[in-house]
């Protein structure tokens, strides 16, 4: 069964550094998403992406964050200058279409630790 | 999006049906009910969704009351692998899932 993959599984970085989290969505999917989950808290929507542009973003997704689909397979989340509070599990997801309901398939996540 | 209320936790015996309630009294007429689950720190996994009618798939059944103010997710024969946090989500579309705290379900042997 096709699946969403994410790399790395764990990223440790120092405060103020830039990080790029990578995702490979399922190949025929057209919508892509990033969510995050701070340890012990709920899963939070960050951003959705379609047709090479952001469809919607949450208040969390400020100017420090950006997303990109650099080629036909990867979908990336960049955090320009990490803060301690960015430490969280980041989940990428993808879905086929939005014309009617299509389930979101989530990746295994990248655990980001900012020290 | 309408808010949902779920019990914080529940236990279930292995092999028995698990009935997970969800209250969504402020749901609007065109909002769907979605259920996802998250097995220990893994990415959330879609289970089922519905609008008005009851739905069944290979994983579960979804029973929605006639007034649509509440629903029940039924796992017909719970296994130890069904131990997870189960999220009931209500919304107009599925492109921005708003997860709550969910119900922590523990299936016991």
Distance from CA of A71 to the nearest CA of B (A): 22
Given a contact cutoff of 8 angstroms between Cβ atoms, the answer to whether B1 and B24 are in contact is no
Residues of chain B contacting A49 with CB distance shorter than 8 Å = none
Identify the pLDDT of residue A101.
67
Subunit contact A42:B102, Cβ cutoff 8 A: yes
List, as one string, the DSSP characters of B23-88.
E-TT--TT-EEEEEEE-TTSPPEEEEEESSS-EE-SS-EEEE-TTSSEEEEEESS--GGG-EEEEE
Identify the pLDDT of residue A99.
55
- Please choose, from the candidates B32, B40, B39, B77, the residue with its C-alpha nearest in 3D space to the C-alpha of residue B59: B77
Given a contact cutoff of 8 angstroms between Cβ atoms, the answer to whether A86 and A79 are in contact is yes
Considering only CB atoms, A42 lies closest to which of B43, B46, B101, namely B101
Count, residues in chain A = 115
pLDDT at A1 over 90: no
Identify the pLDDT of residue A59.
95
- Please choose, from the candidates B107, B108, B90, the residue with its C-alpha nearest in 3D space to the C-alpha of residue B99: B90
Mean pLDDT of A5-34: 96
Residues of chain A contacting B32 with CB distance shorter than 8 Å = 101
Inform me whether the C-beta atom of residue A95 falls under 8 Å from chain B C-beta atoms: yes
| A28-42: pLDDT as tens digits | 898 999 999 999 999
Residue in chain B lying closest to A95 (CA): B95
Confidence of residue A102 (pLDDT cuts 50, 70, 90): confident
| A45-99: pLDDT as tens digits | 999 999 899 999 999 999 999 999 988 789 999 999 999 999 999 999 999 875 5
Q: Which two tokens stand for residue B78?
A: 């719970």
CA B38 from chain center: how many Å?
A: 11
Counting Cα atoms < 13 Å in the Cβ hemisphere of B97 gives 35
Residue in chain A lying closest to B85 (CA): A42
Identify the pLDDT of residue A96.
86
A20-39 burial, b at 16+ Cβ within 10 Å, e below that, comes to: ebbbbbbeebebbbbbbbee
Identify the pLDDT of residue A72.
78
pLDDT at B95 over 90: no
Residue in chain B lying closest to A46 (CA): B96
């Amino acid at each position: 069964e096709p699946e969403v993959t994410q790399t790395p599984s764990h990223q440790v970085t120092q405060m103020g550094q830039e990080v790029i989290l990578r995702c490979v969505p399922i190949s025929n999917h057209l919508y892509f998403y990033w969510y995050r989950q701070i340890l012990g808290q709920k899963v939070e929507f960050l951003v959705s992406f379609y047709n090479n542009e952001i469809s919607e973003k949450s208040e969390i997704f400020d100017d420090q964050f950006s997303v990109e689909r650099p080629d036909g397979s990867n979908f990336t989340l960049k955090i320009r200058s990490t803060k301690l509070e960015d430490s969280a599990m980041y989940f990428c997801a993808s879905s086929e279409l939005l014309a009617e309901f299509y389930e979101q398939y989530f990746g295994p996540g990248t655990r980001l630790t900012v020290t | 999006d309408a808010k949902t209320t779920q019990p914080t936790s529940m236990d279930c015996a292995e092999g028995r049906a698990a009935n997970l309630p969800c209250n969504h009294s402020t749901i609007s007429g065109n909002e769907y009910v979605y259920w996802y689950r998250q097995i220990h720190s893994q990415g959330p996994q879609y289970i089922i969704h519905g609008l008005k009618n009851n739905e069944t798939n290979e994983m579960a059944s979804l029973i929605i009351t006639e007034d649509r103010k509440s629903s029940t997710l039924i796992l017909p024969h719970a296994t130890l692998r069904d131990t997870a946090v189960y999220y009931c989500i209500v919304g107009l579309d599925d492109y921005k899932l708003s997860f709550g705290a969910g119900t922590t379900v523990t299936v016991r042997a």
